[in-house]
Structure 1
């Protein structure tokens, strides 16, 4: 009788304990997400505070939009290819990272070519749609035979 009572008590408690543990785990995960989002909010607040500073806004405008103060003369250096010369080694490393590996570039090219439509591919004669007659010459020979 005692064993039956213990089994019934365990049968009643196990689902309750299981749901309690699952809820505690979910609560822990949600608290972690809240902490991460609070850190992101704090970073965004710091960025907003930076943008409220006029000197920071002027510096970003000079950097990104190539603005100059009245009376200043800006010079842009270019290399022999005509492209802008990066100002720092960090910018050079960033450009190299954007280019990626040769096989990445190759794969992007293959993917891009699979998205071509027939209108994107020129015909071998170099003619355009305006140069091609509206009716097919093969259709006119069939009509001549019928008449």
Structure 2
């Protein structure tokens, strides 16, 4: 006589059905590709290190750029100063020339050489200015006007 099974036919069918469902789901599971996260641990660590480097280098780079701009400004200022020094040297050399000195004295201070006669031509603007100011500055010598200007500035 064959050994007696411990389970009934119904129980066996139910177990076989469950096993079939499990096998079918395993086949479906194997058929689908396994989806992994694109961000692995190494990639996350690399991203973290890159961010740390960017943050660490941001301030020194800003300082570097601002210092380069300041250096450029200083060079421009140096070139301007050198050009000004050159102009002043030229002017100093001109003032060393006796003829230039005489010409400037004649133009600016209205000097005349011995034997010359000085003429002052006045146009209407000086009279209008004197009438407006009321102090007659055009009629006075230049040095009085200069000293008045100094006194006015001193006050």
Unaligned runs of 5+ residues in structure 1 are 85-147
Task: Specify which structure has the higher proportion of helix.
Answer: 2
2:62 to 18, 34, 49: 18
* Residue 4 (structure 1) aligns with: 48
1:39 equivalent in alignment to 2:83:
yes
**Greater relative CO (CA pairs within 8 A, separation 6+):** 2
Detail structure 1 runs of 4+ shifted over 3 Å in the superposition: 81-84
What is the Cα deviation at residue 82 of structure 1?
8.7
Equivalenced residue count is: 83
Larger Rg: 2
1:68 equivalent in alignment to 2:68:
no
CA 1:82–1:19: 2 relative to 1, 3 Å: closer
* Residue 78 (structure 1) aligns with: 122
1:56 to 100, 116, 124: 100
Q: Deviations over 1:53-86 (max 9, x none)?
A: 000000000111111111111111224x5949xx
Q: Deviations over 1:3-38 (max 9, x none)?
A: 111111111111111110110011111111111111
CA 1:70–1:36: 2 relative to 1, 3 Å: same
TM-score by length of 2: 0.50
1:29 equivalent in alignment to 2:73:
yes
Q: Deviations over 1:70-127 (max 9, x none)?
A: 1111111224x5949xxxxxxxxxxxxxxxxxxxxxxxxxxxxxxxxxxxxxxxxxxx
RMSD: 1.8
